[in-house]
Structure 1
Amino acid sequence: RHARGEEFQLDPISKEVFAIGFVMGAGMGLGGDVISGIVNTSKDGMSAQQRREFDESIARFKEEGINQSESELRALDEFMQTSEGEKIVNEAIEENRPEEIPTIEPEVAPTPITEPVVAGEVTQLGRISPDTFKGRNIFEMTPEELDVAAKQALKEEKDVDTEVLGEELGARYDKLLKTADSSNIDRADVAQAEIDKIEATLTNEQLDRLSGIGEAGASAEELADLRNQLNDIDIESEQEMGESLKFIMTKLPSHTDFSKMTNVEKTSVAVLRNANNLAKELGFDTARVTNIAIKASARRFSPSDAEFMLRNIKQL
């Protein structure tokens, strides 16, 4: 938003403000006419005088060589200078956001393990979708559900280590793996050297089991990482929640086909869905949180760079 008479520095951002409303409300599935719907609904809520002024603003921007869509968004940005205008536009965003979050079905149904594991014998685990754990899409889980899943996956992974290496060496191997990730480089190097010695005695099949190769499901580490990202949302106030989402804005997908999104894009959608749920629980104005998030993200860049970095929102 800018003051009247000032140069319009972040005109692309207004478009993102309206478009991002769908993510807060539905996660994905934005129709191409949502922006147009917000503009039309906003005009329906204006008085006759406000509509005339709004149309005059559009005409003024078009005379400057700006296209119809961008002119409408600039005019809305001006209209939102007043509390009444902001209220009308925020209500339009609410009215035009999708009603339901579409259910994401697993790409491949999980295959249960029916054969018992025999000590000392390497077995092939059932394959599941990379985005699932026990048949559930991990990007639709709550932080609490992900926490339970991460702990369960970690136990199962330790069981595999015990199966392949035996109880004593398996426990030692688990500790070495943690130490190898230590910020203490010397300790990490010593641990990795011992890991290499242990793995040098194993067959390729055993190494695959330890590494999770052949299993397409989410690992304990992946589940815990997603849980942590969902929890990394500030809930102290609407302002702080919006600010905490600013880095997510530039990681959103340029399309709505979940199966073609990268893990980073899927995670970004999941984080915003969780933020929406938290905002509703806390009684926050989700439209205001959205506005704050986009503006905070835009401040990280120059005006031209902001348009590029946030381009995916307006392409949805």
Structure 2
Amino acid sequence: MSIVNNDWLTLNIGGQKFTTCRSTLAREPNCMLARMFAPESALRPCVQDADGAYLIDRSPRYFEPILNFLRTGSLFIDPNVNPAGVLEEAKYFGMESIIPQLEEITQDYSIPRDERALTRRDVVEALIGQASFSDRTDRPDRTDRGLRFQGLNLEGADLSKLDMTNVNLKYANLKGARLNGANLSWSQLERADLSHAQMEGTQMLGVKMLCANLEGANLKGANFEDPAGASANLEGANLRGANLEGSNMSGINLRVATLKNVNMKNCDLRQAILAGADLENCNLSGSDLHEANLRGANLKDATLELMQTPLHMSQTIR
């Protein structure tokens, strides 16, 4: 003998059937779905199909995220589903708890895709896709070409601890991005905007950052030295007000870079090229400048206390 569970019911939404529980629909007690299927409700749909499913003339495509929200308490929308449609369904069914969230998503969605800031998820998916491509055995060319994010908007993105080696980020907008502990080694960051980015402990071996904007960035403890000898190139970069304390910058090229008011305490700057750099009011105390090239550099009001290697005239004069 079969047992009938009156808590279960089937909805026919625009021709697609969804099986769920009354208790699930009741999780938002003031919404139309909860009131439609409450015991003794006067709003219960009066029409059922041949299988007994309750007919509701709405879009199943936009209804599914709402039902899943009632099931899990979290809002998930397939990338191919327009959130504006889900918002209209939420308004129709009186789902007040998710309307503000959907309105925010819809506002972002209205911005053209190529103008929206990429998220950590976007980058991770691209990295995974690149890894899968690199692992293919049927490729005629097995060389790692790297990813191209040239000129894209990554402002404020959380990219911490990601492996982004060999990535092309030329002209990219990385303002305020979080890159703590990330690996940007051998990446291309020419003229990228990294102002006020958080880059503490970032690996930047052999990175190319000509004329990049790093004003106010936190690069404390970053590592620029490539044991294989490929020097990091930050020629002409703007590092005004940045924090580079304790960074390993042996052999780095900072020719004609702007380093005003930079914290470079206890840095390894052996064989660094600082010719023509603006080091006004820069704190270089405790740093190692052995064989560094400081010819033509502006050292006005720079702090040079406790230097591991005394500066010589040949280092500072053309």
TM-score, with length taken from structure 2? 0.22
Relative contact order, higher structure (CA 8 A, sep 6+): 1
Q: Which has the higher helix share?
A: 1
